[in-house]
Chain A
Amino acid sequence: MVKRTALYVTLVAGAFVSVFPYLLVALTALKTPRQLSGTEPWEPGLPPTFANLDRVMHSGFAGYLGNTLLMTAALTAGQLVFTTFAAYAFARLRFRGRDVLFWLYVATMMVPSAVTMIPLFLIMRELHLVNTWWGLLAPYLLGTPYGIFLMRQFFRALPAGLEDAARIDGAGPLTILLRIVLPLSRPALGTLAIITVISSWNNFMWPLIITSGDDTRVVTVGIAGLKGSIGVDPNQMTAAALIALVPMVAVFVAFQRYIVRSVVLTGLK
């Protein structure tokens, strides 16, 4: 009995530590500066105020949020489309060089993203794409080797009978892919979409390097800019953090079981 109690106390404590920074963000974002100095950080400020959120949204974050949404949507769409085509070809079509190419894809998964930042910037500079939407999106728009690896594994595990039947009925490869394979692939596509949404939303280093103007500034870069030389204003910072975190928390709550599964299956990070 004591053991059971200790177990639950540990679990509750762990769960509390996990969500504490989120709680702090929500509490602080809704406090007035006066409430902030008058209460402990973990106490709520009553009555809650939306003034911080309002101020932050009007200081550019509405635009940054729009840019993040646009970037996330574009990258996710690109990833889903191009990854599906390439993965299907690697899984089911026969063409010269297939195995060598696939081996190459697997090898490139070993290249750390930190290493390619400098040359990617230089390539974009050469193409005059610094501080443009194309520069921001291009490196991640055409699908990642990792996503292709994942989808290929999934396609190969699908029974081939349906595709064969469709082929005998005269269906072309595009029809087979779109009408037969894709409807069977919703779980894998969902996993891929979630990986891409989260990693695009959280992406910081590349947008930091490649963008400089308000037109292309995303939320992560906007928040980093709040860090002044004299430290951050907690009200303002947590209000911006709330804007950045709420959409992902909403995604998490909606797809919680699914995300947990996807993490284990794919090791996405």
Chain B
Amino acid sequence: MTSSADHLPGRADPADGAERDGIERDGIERDRAVVTAPAAGTPEEPADGRTAARGAGHRPRRRLWHTNWYAYLFVAPSLFGVFAFLLLPLLIVLGLSLFHWELLSSPSFAGLANYRRLGGDGETWHSVWVTVLFVLLSIPAQTVLGLLLALLLNQRVKGVAFYRALFVVPWMATPIVMGLVWTWIFDPRDGALNKLLGVAGVSGPDWLTDPSWALPSVALVNVWQYSGYTMLFFLAGLQGIPQELYDAAATDGASPVQRFFQITLPLLNPTTFFVTVTNLVGAFQIFDTVYAMTDGGPSGSTEVLNFRIYETAFRQFDFGYASTLAALLFLLILAVTLAQVRFFAKRTTYDLS
């Protein structure tokens, strides 16, 4: 099972590819073996125009370029899903953000009133700030920790597979369940953390009820959950860097620190990009952990934007304004993702294939 996974996309063997070129048909161009992960920003277009032109001399090929009616049957269910449950909702959310609508009354058009309200809504901007703070508390920590763990595991360690597996276990933990478990670990009196600190002679704070500790505690759980996941990608990235580069640098007298900053880090750029984009998009939408651990409190110190959207819609039933907040979250995530694309696009990436 494991060995056959080698044939998953992104791992295509170059020799395999050369062979495939010979039997390419229907003008469908062979995919370049790129990282499949979509967030890595490679929505490559099938270059049909080009291949069609190339096959222009072959009459039979051209004749094949007709529409297969059954293709629509194949696509129809998922197409319905994409329209009904992704595109339509997106349009609805943007549309509803222009309405006043508290579920029991009927919606009334409000123009930009919700957005004007948003401008002066200090609590929402506080939520945005809390969200950004949460991201800043968790993303750098889990990226650095993930990279460190990967560097450690990349040193010809005995039992790599074993450690790697244990580090990944938190990633698949049900967030709402682990949120409750961590709430108990953080319990000031009976929790494992303060009892452990007590053994060391330290009296721990009231983690989740102290406004200055609550958000870092929630962020810590996020770091716990996703550092191992981040490590996996860095480890794969590290293993793709050819040893000769390090050997050559060592011959030239580069110190280990220089080698890390001049070789390792630049060559990991695509991995770093992918990992930070996915982790950021996830962190901006954090909900389950907050729901389980703090319910937005104490005194709003963990009230992240997604939690506020939930409260506005499903506890206050103000669906119009909640849609405005959802539109804000959408724009925030979009802006941050695009900023990252630009940031990493400016940096050179090296093709090692």
**Contacts from A to B (Cβ < 8 Å):** 7-8, 10-11, 14-15, 17-22, 24-25, 40-42, 82-83, 85-86, 88-96, 98-99, 101-123, 138-146, 148-150, 153-154, 156-157, 159-161, 164, 173-174, 186-188, 190-191, 198, 201-202, 204-205, 208-209, 220, 223-224, 226-227, 231-232, 234, 237-238, 240-241, 244-245, 248-249, 252, 256-267, 269
* A24 to B191 alpha-carbon distance, docked (Å): 11
Given that A11-B153, A260-B164 are contacting pairs, would A114 and B323 also be in contact in the complex, using a CB cutoff of 8 Å? Answer: no
* A186 to B8 alpha-carbon distance, docked (Å): 10
Given that A115-B93, A118-B96, A118-B322 are contacting pairs, would A160 and B23 also be in contact in the complex, using a CB cutoff of 8 Å? Answer: yes
Q: Check if A257 sits within 8 Å of B330, measured CB to CB.
A: no
Shortest CB-to-CB span from B92 to chain A, Å, is 4
Question: Which chain B positions have C-beta within 8 A of A143?
Answer: 77-78, 81
Residue from B20, B37, B86, B187 whose CB has the most chain A CB atoms within 10 Å = B86
Does chain A have a CB within 8 A of B254? no
* In the complex, residue of chain A having the shortest beta-carbon distance to the beta carbon of B305: A114
Leading 4 A-B pairs by shortest Cβ distance: A142-B81, A267-B37, A119-B89, A153-B9
Question: Which chain B positions have C-beta within 8 A of A263?
Answer: 168, 171, 229, 232
Question: Which chain A positions have C-beta within 8 A of B20?
Answer: 157, 159-160
Q: Contact mask B192-234 → A, CB, 8 Å, 1/0?
A: 1001100000000000000000000000000010001100110
Q: Check if A238 sits within 8 Å of B78, measured CB to CB.
A: no
Shortest CB-to-CB span from B131 to chain A, Å, is 11
| Tally of contacts, chain A with chain B, CB under 8 A | 348
Does chain A have a CB within 8 A of B19? yes
In the complex, 15 of the A-B residue pairs with CB atoms within 8 angstroms, ordered by the A residue number, are: A7-B152, A14-B149, A21-B185, A89-B74, A89-B75, A102-B46, A111-B330, A115-B90, A115-B326, A121-B314, A148-B78, A154-B8, A173-B70, A202-B174, A245-B174
Does chain A have a CB within 8 A of B285? yes
Shortest CB-to-CB span from A53 to chain B, Å, is 15
Question: Which chain B positions have C-beta within 8 A of A102?
Answer: 46
Binds A, one of B61-69, B119-127, B132-140, B241-249: B61-69
Shortest CB-to-CB span from A31 to chain B, Å, is 12
Q: Which of B153-167 contact A (CB under 8 A)?
A: 153, 155, 157, 161, 163-167
Question: Which chain B positions have C-beta within 8 A of A115?
Answer: 89-90, 93, 326-327, 329-330
* A69 to B67 alpha-carbon distance, docked (Å): 40
Given that A258-B1, A261-B2 are contacting pairs, would A252 and B86 also be in contact in the complex, using a CB cutoff of 8 Å? Answer: no
Q: Check if B92 sits within 8 Å of A223, measured CB to CB.
A: no
Does chain A have a CB within 8 A of B118? no
Shortest CB-to-CB span from A128 to chain B, Å, is 15
Does chain A have a CB within 8 A of B351? no
Q: Check if A157 sits within 8 Å of B67, measured CB to CB.
A: no
User: Which of B26, B36, B174, B229 lies in contact with A248, CB distance below 8 A?
Assistant: B174
**Contacts from B to A (Cβ < 8 Å):** 1-2, 4-5, 7-12, 16, 19-20, 23-28, 30-31, 33, 36-40, 43, 45-46, 48, 64-75, 77-82, 84-90, 92-93, 96, 149, 152-153, 155, 157, 161, 163-178, 180-185, 187, 190-192, 195-196, 224, 228-229, 232-233, 236, 274, 278, 281-282, 284-285, 287-288, 291-292, 306, 309-310, 313-314, 319, 322-323, 326-327, 329-330, 333-334, 337
User: Which of B5, B74, B229 lies in contact with A261, CB distance below 8 A?
Assistant: B5
* A112 to B326 alpha-carbon distance, docked (Å): 10
User: Which of B36, B74, B330 lies in contact with A85, CB distance below 8 A?
Assistant: B74
Question: Which chain B positions have C-beta within 8 A of A108?
Answer: 82, 86-87
* A91 to B229 alpha-carbon distance, docked (Å): 30
* A256 to B86 alpha-carbon distance, docked (Å): 32
Question: Which chain A positions have C-beta within 8 A of B66?
Answer: 94
Q: Check if B228 sits within 8 Å of A18, measured CB to CB.
A: yes
Q: Check if B74 sits within 8 Å of A86, measured CB to CB.
A: yes
